[in-house]
Amino acid sequence: MPDPSAEQLQALLDLAGTDAAIRRLQNTMDNLPEQQQLADLGERRRALEDQHADIRLERDQVTQVARKHDRDVGQLRERLAHEQQRMYGGDITNAKELGKMEAEISAVQSRIDEHELAELEALETLEEHEEALDALEQELATLSETIRETEERRDVAASGLLAEIAEHEVVRERQRDDLDDELVARYDRSAQRSVGDAVGRLDGEDCTACGIRLSYADVNTLVDGPPLTTCPNCGRLLVVL
């Protein structure tokens, strides 16, 4: 395509200026105090949710332990009742057998005592976990309300910025429509390859896109070349007027 006119090149620079203004506004939105607060609050909520999940898992494990001890106590009590019935039912009269049975009953009772103690300890731990979960759930509820209120304040603070961005976007679409399709395509390719301005201007010896001072040899080559080229330093489109 033929070299773009000075008017087209200026329109290209104007488009870059509009995009830069949109980026500045978006950066301002991203750095609103309320947005930073939301980031901190979100991190706190994730930490609390992780803590809640860990304690809930521990609670479920302790619940299983308590239930197992309870089942074991039930089974041992049935066994104890059976042995006691045999012992006191009069069927066994041999002193040696009675002695063995007494020892067995004593051992079963000891195991019952151990399981009951372990169950009691598990239930106490379970109660601690339930209290911790209740406290975390209350804190999460309070935090969620704080996040909601902060989001409302953020939205109010951002409303003006959003309106400005919308106005600039309307201007940008008009600017793009006024440019040649090939120029727009070159601009978009440059924008995809770089962060910041997609096109700069040769200002003396400097590229305004990257802010780097170019060598005299590069400047002379650029001045002698086409009015729209690329910066030898950053590779972005460069307008040489």
Map out the domains of the chain as residue ranges. Answer: 1-29+180-241, 32-159
pLDDT tens digits for 162-185?
A: 999 999 999 999 999 999 999 999
pLDDT tens digits for 179-234?
A: 999 999 999 999 998 888 999 999 999 999 999 999 999 999 999 999 999 999 99
Alpha-carbon span 228 to 196, nearest angstrom:
18
What 3-state DSSP class applies to 72?
helix
Side by side, the strands of the sheet bearing 228-230 are 206-207, 199-203, 237-239, 228-230
Can you name the residues that pair with 203 across neighbouring β-strands? 206
The residue with tokens 């309320």 is 34
pLDDT score for 1: 63
CATH code of 32-159, in short, is 1.10.287
Alpha-carbon span 68 to 89, nearest angstrom:
31
CA torsion 182-188-189-190 (nearest 10°) is: 110
